[in-house]
Chain A
């Protein structure tokens, strides 16, 4: 089975890279210093346990980040002729039932709908992809919610 692609904006990729570096140096600092002794009198030393816990957390996260970095696909602004179409990385201004909403379409790693960043795999994100300003997008039945695309823009353009 092909590995899952992780779509990231440049900003998102920088964050992941930084987190990866930070975790690696933290792991190094932790293992370089004095490792707490396993046994403290007759019991397992709680400091040792906490050290192991921290280390295993760090290692899991590092492995996760490595997998992301291995399978990353950078979200780039599209070519000029395609900038009028909603794609990953687009900021879309929409009208919904008389209200105005704004989304940024991102990959699932960066999605946080409370911040307006919606995943390309969510029903709304997915439905908006490929549409142009002025078009109306209906998002799945049984209830008809119409998203009228007012404006599409891409960062750094």
Chain B
């Protein structure tokens, strides 16, 4: 358990790692690797549904979640690593275009990058159980070496998501670095579904055509990358975790912690990815909302708010309805079967209706608690007691409880 927890804490560092390419290009507060991975995983899932012959969706999601894990230690090695001039202006000019190199240089650089990243990933997973370690490494190798249809799909989807983000930063104006990403995808993308999706991106950003379907949904999801979680914002946490980052960790944790359980993994992964997307419109509700308006903020936030059953029911139903309405809005333009699937997954989790729903719901709280404990470690004034109390009511799965005890042992001293 200790190894699992340590691995997970290390993975959480991706929430604080901005994507190098965007930093170099002068974007203020660019997306983090965790934010990027969240949308890569969701995008690849919903587009891979259409691929024929079929690809394994749980594998697509797992590979997406794993594809950048090596960056925890290796850093974000872009194709420009080691080649950029020190002069800022020259650097910017170089970054504007996709880098072109002779094939023998490409092969040499690829080998070096591969070696460094593989070592980094190995360092990250070395203490995990052999089966899990092998699974993570294989997922990464399939992506890196393009050795399976799922790996190839994720690699291409990864580049498209980056292009989409670049377009969100710079728009369709001429003479921006976006051209570099267009050149990159032009070299790489061969999957018909992704080619069709790229066309939609082009039509929307350059020909100003109406956006619909999956693209509209994914653009909405992009808002979660910069949307801070209310629970942290109301507690004045600086640079708080965003919803996209939390969702990435939730998916990762749900997968890793479900080892050995009889659960439908594909469902668990999808459920984790969609559980918080309603926040795009519903806002991240907390049980404190009413109190915060009353002016007794500081005192109230110290403890978990208590209510009678009827009031709990009223609040839950209000929250559920609001969330469902928001989900209906965000999924409005998706194919009907996907829309139905997403709403059902969310509802199962929210209401703890199925084994997968009960599990992911508890993992959601556990991952939140871990972040709270990390904030507490940094700032002892952080009101950890409220979380501490709540977790003892919300978590009951034996494996998750064991992890929770481990987390408390690591982060809470005996005198609180």
Binding site for B on A (CB under 8 A): 43-44, 49-50, 60-61, 64, 91, 93, 96-97, 99-104, 108-109, 111-116, 118-119, 121-125, 139-143, 145
Q: Please, which residues of chain A bring their CB within 8 A of the CB of B412? A: 142-143
Task: Mark B396-415 against chain A: 1 for CB-CB distance below 8 A, else 0.
Answer: 11100100000010001111
Instruction: Decide if A113 touches B394 in the complex (CB within 8 Å).
Output: yes
Let me know if A145 and B307 touch, CB within 8 A. no
Q: In chain B, what residue has the closest Cβ to A118?
A: B393
- Please tell me if the beta carbons of A100 and B416 are within 8 angstroms of each other in the complex: no
Q: Is B385 an interface residue, CB under 8 A from the partner? A: yes
Q: Could you list 18 A-B pairs, sorted by A, with CB under 8 Å?
A: A43-B52, A93-B308, A100-B306, A109-B358, A111-B358, A114-B312, A115-B313, A115-B316, A118-B393, A122-B392, A122-B395, A123-B395, A139-B392, A140-B392, A141-B414, A143-B385, A143-B388, A145-B385
A102 to chain B, nearest CB (A): 5
Q: A44-B52, A103-B393, A122-B395 are in contact. Are A116 and B416 (CB under 8 A)?
A: no
Residues of B within 8 A of A124 (CB): 392-393
Which of A101, A103, A114 has most B Cβ within 10 Å?
A114
Tell whether B305 is near chain A: CB-to-CB under 8 Å. yes
The answer for the CA separation of A143 and B398 in the assembled complex, in Å, is 20
- Asked whether any CB of chain A lies closer than 8 Å to the CB of B352, the reply is yes
Interface of A, helix, strand, loop or mixed by DSSP:
mixed
- Which of B313, B337, B396, B398 makes the CB contact (< 8 A) with A50? B337
Q: Which residues of B contact A (CB under 8 A)?
A: 52-54, 264, 303, 305-309, 312-313, 315-316, 319, 337, 351-352, 354-355, 358, 385, 388-390, 392-398, 401, 408, 412-416
| A141, B415: Cα distance in complex, Å | 10
User: Would B392 and A145 count as touching, CB distance under 8 A?
Assistant: yes
Q: Apart from A44-B52, A102-B309, A115-B316, what 17 extra A-B contacts exist at CB < 8 Å? A: A64-B355, A91-B309, A101-B308, A103-B309, A104-B309, A108-B358, A111-B352, A112-B352, A113-B394, A115-B309, A115-B312, A116-B312, A116-B313, A139-B392, A143-B412, A143-B416, A145-B388
Chain A residues with CB under 8 Å of B337's CB are: 50
Q: Tell me the complex Cα distance, A139–B395, Å.
A: 14
A26, chain B: closest CB distance, angstroms: 14
- In the complex, which residues of chain B have a beta carbon less than 8 angstroms from the beta carbon of A142? 408, 412-416
Q: How far is the CA of A144 from the CA of B337 in the complex (A)?
A: 49
* A114 partner residues in chain B, CB cutoff 8 A: 312, 315-316, 319
User: Closest CB-CB distance, B66 to chain A, in whole Å?
Assistant: 25
Per the bound structure, the CA–CA distance linking A103 and B396 in Å amounts to 15
A40 to B10, CA, bound (A): 48
For the complex, give the distance between the alpha carbons of A52 and B305 in Å. 46
List 10 A-B pairs, minimum CB-CB distance, nearest first.
A99-B306, A101-B306, A119-B396, A122-B396, A123-B392, A121-B396, A116-B312, A116-B309, A124-B392, A102-B308
Closest residue to A145 on the B side, CB-wise?
B389
Contact of A64 among B306, B354, B413, B416 (CB under 8 A): B354
Shortest B389–chain A CB gap in Å is 5
Q: Are B312 and A99 in contact (CB under 8 A)?
A: no
Q: How far is the CA of A117 from the CA of B369 in the complex (A)?
A: 20
Return chain A residues, CB-CB under 8 Å to B413.
142
- A85 CA to B15 CA, complexed, in Å: 47
Distance between Cα atoms of A123 and B396 in the complex (Å): 7
Q: Chain A: which residue is nearest B50 at the CB level?
A: A46
